[in-house]
Structure 1
């Protein structure tokens, strides 16, 4: 009887424990299934051309280039087309012997048709001006009969009914002797050509605008190959042109040797009013380091715009060497000649380091990534008011299977957006004309790659992953809560703000539309992200 009572008691207790949910070896409660974002732009078909264009890099295959073989682009619109002009540069020097300043056109900023060269020959005035300057410098210097030229970084703008094309031609011969180890090379010249119709490719050359001019503080000789103290006041390359709201015309130019200069131009001629004294060559508006003594500044390629919405002039600058380390900075001012300030209040005109940094060598997963991303062109679509950033990108050094991979130069166009406090940010993926759909919370849920663009010389920044959950929480390498302002397209993650747009995942296979985001961290460094699933 006792055994029966104990057995009955055990059955009752087992039943009770089952009913109370504390059974032996219970099955774990299933985690709630994370919501999945609905498909977005799933039928969009974007560019499919390879970033490794070496198989079509030759001159004979130029009709297949699209944006292959682009360096230092400048872009303007004429009629239905955007026209892009550039430095003489191509993989394997495919352009050699075919003229100067390659150009192409596009109706959509995505598909580009190579058109040929803007100039057939070297403008005659360059050699004449060079030898006249040599005679003034040192009367005993003989003329250079066959100069060695570089054709660099043009700038095109529409002025009235004409297109003004400012171009840079650099003479690379030593000034004295025959070695660049012991002599500085000859000066750079900025010239001007005009056209009534870009489709015609007919240019009227207007001659010299400005040149590198000695300021008497340094000699023409170099003490060694490590002597980088240039002999000129400003280096006359990399022109950028702007007409102010008041109707003044200005040329912004210069690089490396003594900083960036601004010189006012005669609107009728497109040239300085006079070039009689050093002051006529302009005033310094940006430098890097002590601009009074540092004549090797590691900055170049000024590009200037005026944004009517913010009331500021924005001066974009290329920092460091161009093959790998190139990165883009920007400063702003209420006045064309400065002072220009960075996002942290630094005075760039006085030589403070410029922040924010908008581009930097980077690498999303599944790709070789890009380096050398700077010397930008900034332009606005007059119909949509959308701003764009265009530059070259180079493949990194040593990519397996590609000879001289760092010489592969692909033209890149990206959208620019503006933060609420009036600073530009560059979108992380190249422009592909992806339709912009209404933003909603459920479009944002998912897993993202994020690149925090720390400034590191000649180093590609790589990505980490984070997750935006449907309950507003954040996981992975970011934490906190997220929220979306659908009307402004601002995504807040913790204390960081990102601008969100529909973009194109160039690194996925196959490529597809996705959500992209761009912002600035507290140090003024770019933060780029894209949704991967």
Structure 2
């Protein structure tokens, strides 16, 4: 189910660090008084961890989901987050309008909250108070050219903003608005109005501000719209026909300023794949003029990724692109968003491709499954776990520390609530880069745990490990693992194999597999506490070796 189809499920059904140290010290007792990364003694170091207080807000926020409780939400009611760091030192998070119980309905669009530490977030409010008038005008302009009657009563959906700092004193937010009316008769997309046609187009617009703290944004109008190579053949023989009318779906924008100074917008959702559109830095609009969005649609972007080159129904969306150390990394959301949502990543030396997976697949020219898996529905012991963990944003703090943010949904019937799958919690995680240049995301959410040097002695003991592999609509669950003395794995995962610790790189090797470490919060323990976690990748050298590994120290 894509976002267009899920709209009514959300709107109606609900109503019923990479900061790990690169400077390690040994476990030799004679060296344990040596100053560590933060130039404190081990006594002070231990005190920092023992006095650390983990976040206490509940994962199940249903009791405070109402609009009147928004001041207490923190990261409750977050969907499709986009995070940017502004000049005032705050991280600003923007989002899709979707919410549990439709709490955001009638309150505006593309809501904002902000934080100094990525843990405690304060509510800011709506950035768009009413839909821009240009959308209806543009739709009816296109309809007139197609020989269709104008739409008088519009129904809109507001999706997936992307906010970026362009330069000092200028910030842009690209946003999606979907017109949820049938093309054929112009009526609302309801079963009673079915007319054997596809629904109307989506648009990407742009707003600007000089000061995110003011929350005053000026709308600058249309950037692009859904385009088709089928002319005016918008006929859909049945609701089970998925050969979409629009080839490129104007939704889910991501924006990047390349090292050479060129600006690009990448976008696309479900229909045919992801395209890259060059942007004029001065206007935030397309670099070259776009023609009518039917027929020759080359001006609407260059295809950079397709999950299936022979299908108009991709089950991939939510692109996010960042540049790091010589590569462009393209993160993608896969599958329906209520349960199966999972995140993949590809990389390229060029913004326009070719994008490759870690398994060597050319996903630009040949299409296909993107690997590695970055996030997936999962469950550690002691918690219901999370599903729908995707549609990410990726950002850094300007000091070399990277983060990954997305929503996570609780599984259905959590705590006896039949609508718990519509509980959407914003989740921020530490992202580390592997030695061969791939991103891995930590399994536990970020809680601002002091990133003090991890000693080898701390790694010994019991762990929970989750092998993340592609299981459609299922949670990947944890297995046990014990790291014993003499660098032997004595129980559970890879029992009988060896482990070792690279102190310089902060990498734990499990049977030769590199696992990248971080101090994070054990969100499943009661009370929550600091622990050590890891994320790592298999060698990706065969179809049966496509794993991401998540681990958490339990004692």
Supply the RMSD in Å over aligned alpha carbons.
1.4
- Cα distance in 1 for residues equivalent to 2:350 and 2:205: 26
State whether structure 2 residue 372 is matched by structure 1 residue 356. Answer: yes
Contact 1:239 1:253 survives alignment (8 Å): yes
Give the one of 419, 434, 442 matched to 2:449: 434
Give the one of 45, 49, 74 matched to 2:53: 45
3-state SS in 1 of match to 2:144: helix
* Most deviating of 489-498 and 170-179: 170-179
* Most deviating of 173-182 and 427-436: 173-182
- Cα distance in 2 for residues equivalent to 1:213 and 1:185: 13
Return the offset for 1:400.
Answer: 3.5
Residue in structure 2 matched with residue 127 of structure 1 by the alignment: 136
CA offset digits 1:502-528 (Å, max 9, x no partner): 111000011000010110123342210
3-state SS in 2 of match to 1:376: strand
Return the offset for 1:144.
Answer: 1.1
Residue in structure 2 matched with residue 388 of structure 1 by the alignment: 403
Query: What is the TM-score of this pair, normalised by structure 2?
Result: 0.86
State whether structure 2 residue 553 is matched by structure 1 residue 531. Answer: yes
Residue in structure 2 matched with residue 519 of structure 1 by the alignment: 536
Residue in structure 2 matched with residue 152 of structure 1 by the alignment: 159
- Cα distance in 1 for residues equivalent to 2:144 and 2:404: 42
State whether structure 2 residue 417 is matched by structure 1 residue 407. Answer: no
Contact 2:499 2:512 survives alignment (8 Å): no
3-state SS in 2 of match to 1:374: strand
Return the offset for 1:180.
Answer: 4.7
Q: Larger relative contact order (C-alpha < 8 A, sep ≥ 6)?
A: 2
Residues 315, 101 of structure 1: CA spacing in aligned structure 2 closer, same or farther, 3 A cutoff?
Answer: same
State whether structure 2 residue 268 is matched by structure 1 residue 254. Answer: yes
CA offset digits 1:408-444 (Å, max 9, x no partner): 0000000100111000000010000000111221111
Residue in structure 2 matched with residue 419 of structure 1 by the alignment: 434
3-state SS in 2 of match to 1:68: coil
Contact 2:465 2:552 survives alignment (8 Å): yes
CA offset digits 1:479-522 (Å, max 9, x no partner): 21111111110111112110011111000011000010110123
Residue in structure 2 matched with residue 497 of structure 1 by the alignment: 514
Give the one of 419, 424, 449 matched to 2:464: 449
- Cα distance in 2 for residues equivalent to 1:360 and 1:107: 28
State whether structure 2 residue 183 is matched by structure 1 residue 175. Answer: yes
Return the offset for 1:258.
Answer: 1.1
Return the offset for 1:214.
Answer: 2.1
3-state SS in 2 of match to 1:110: coil
3-state SS in 1 of match to 2:487: coil
Query: What is the TM-score of this pair, normalised by structure 1?
Result: 0.90
CA offset digits 1:211-263 (Å, max 9, x no partner): 00221178212111110111112000000001111111100000111100001
Residue in structure 1 matched with residue 123 of structure 2 by the alignment: 114
CA offset digits 1:306-330 (Å, max 9, x no partner): 00x2x00000000111000000000
- Cα distance in 2 for residues equivalent to 1:411 and 1:439: 28
Aligned pairs for 1:305-344 within 5 A: 305-307=322-324, 309=325, 311-344=326-359
* Most deviating of 401-410 and 67-76: 401-410
- Cα distance in 1 for residues equivalent to 2:483 and 2:93: 39
Residue in structure 1 matched with residue 319 of structure 2 by the alignment: 302
Residue in structure 2 matched with residue 55 of structure 1 by the alignment: 63
* Most deviating of 397-406 and 237-246: 397-406
State whether structure 2 residue 111 is matched by structure 1 residue 102. Answer: yes
Which ranges of 4 or more aligned residues in structure 1 deviate by more than 6 Å?
A: none
CA offset digits 1:98-133 (Å, max 9, x no partner): 111111000100000111111111011011011111
Return the offset for 1:43.
Answer: 2.2
3-state SS in 2 of match to 1:199: helix
* Most deviating of 100-109 and 275-284: 275-284
Give the one of 160, 167, 172 matched to 1:164: 172
Give the one of 193, 205, 214 matched to 1:191: 205
Specify every segment of 5 or more residues in structure 2 that has no aligned partner in the other structure, as ranges: 1-42, 188-192, 540-544
